[in-house]
Amino acid sequence: MATPPVPDAELRRRVKLWRTCSGNLLRAARQAGVNTQAFTVSIDRAVAKGWVKQSERDRAATQHRAVKGNNDSEAALRKQIATLTAQVERMRNARPVVPVRIKTARVDDFVRVVIPDSHGTCIDPQAMGAFLDDLKALDPHEIVMLGDHVDCGGFLALHHTLGYVPETSYTYEDDISSANAFLDEIQRNAPHARIHYIEGNHEARVEKWCIAQTLRNGRESEGMRLRNAPEFLLRLKERGISYYRRAERYHDLPVPGTIKLGKTFFAHEPGRGGRPEQYAQRFGGCLIYGHEHRARGAVIRTVAAGEIGAWCPGTLAIQQPFYFHTNLTDHSHGHLVQIVAKSGGFLSINVPIINGVSHLRPLLDRGT
């Protein structure tokens, strides 16, 4: 059914309102109390009468399409956040998970859980649910987060060109909100654990952005970092979580951003394009690392250090990020459990999560 014409007086009022709203059809239509389609017809009639220039109308149409696209992206993001929220709520309402302490030989032995890259808003809901279920059952003494627990894409990714509109569909605030929610669940499911958080290359994007925005002014860059970096927006100090920056050295180690707990080194990114056995050889000891998003591990024998190994647990993020385009990734979901003896000796287990199902939980259930 065609929209009936409006009187000229009303038509002039709508044109004036439209210009007051800087050509924003959605806002002007809301203020006029009509739907966007009816308001658009009015502006087209004003063009036919010569009251509005065609070029002015064309600019408004371009703006309307951009706003509509942003609204569609925002709706998709809200749907994704709702899915994550529902997943967490289902876990909370599911049957109670009875904590199952892994039996160790001595009371001084303990369990450490290692969390690989999760990427904030880009976390996989099913993998996250399976991991949190395992975490609650294990009730570990210590947790190591390997970094990249925020994604920091969009305008922060100065070195990475975004190639698809969906990559722009979330904000930094959304990303921080998702990471905070994940940290809340980690601490709720493992209340007795001491937590270490190693900065990844994605968290470090914020520091690079701060330096670029302040034209490399040191004091201003640091001031901006204190206001914008994940370390502070995730309230890590308030949470009692130790944070290790890529720009600083720890435990008298020559490589920044690397820590050593007992007989194991932990790093986000131990090198580029190497194999686990090469990383173990390079570190001269046992290493657990992230960044690669696929589960790998190897043990080698050396003259100086004896048997040493390196392990990557995989990822908790989505397995097919946009930057792989149409290439199928070999990313795998999982986490790592380390049973550590008083002597420092340990058993490292890469726990696979396949189609949202952890392959550790059946073993724990069998032991109850």
Q: Give the start-to-end residue ranges of the domains of the chain.
A: 1-94, 101-366
Phi, psi of 205 (to 5 degrees): -60, -35
Q: What is the pLDDT of residue 273?
A: 74
Please count the CA atoms within 13 angstroms of the CA of 109 that sit on its side-chain side: 13
pLDDT tens per residue across all 368 residues of the chain: 455 677 888 888 888 887 887 778 777 877 888 877 777 888 888 888 888 888 777 777 666 555 555 555 556 556 666 666 666 666 556 545 555 555 554 557 999 999 999 999 999 999 999 999 999 999 999 999 999 999 988 766 666 677 788 887 888 999 999 999 999 999 999 999 999 999 999 999 999 999 988 988 999 999 999 999 999 999 999 999 999 999 999 999 999 999 999 999 999 999 887 899 999 999 999 999 999 999 999 999 999 999 999 999 999 999 999 888 899 999 999 999 999 998 889 999 999 999 999 999 777 665 54
Q: Which CATH number fits domain 101-366: 3.40.50.2300, 1.10.1740.10, 3.60.21.10, 3.30.559.10?
A: 3.60.21.10
The reported pTM is 0.73
Phi, psi of 15 (to 5 degrees): -65, -45
In the chain, how long is the greatest CA-to-CA distance?
A: 93
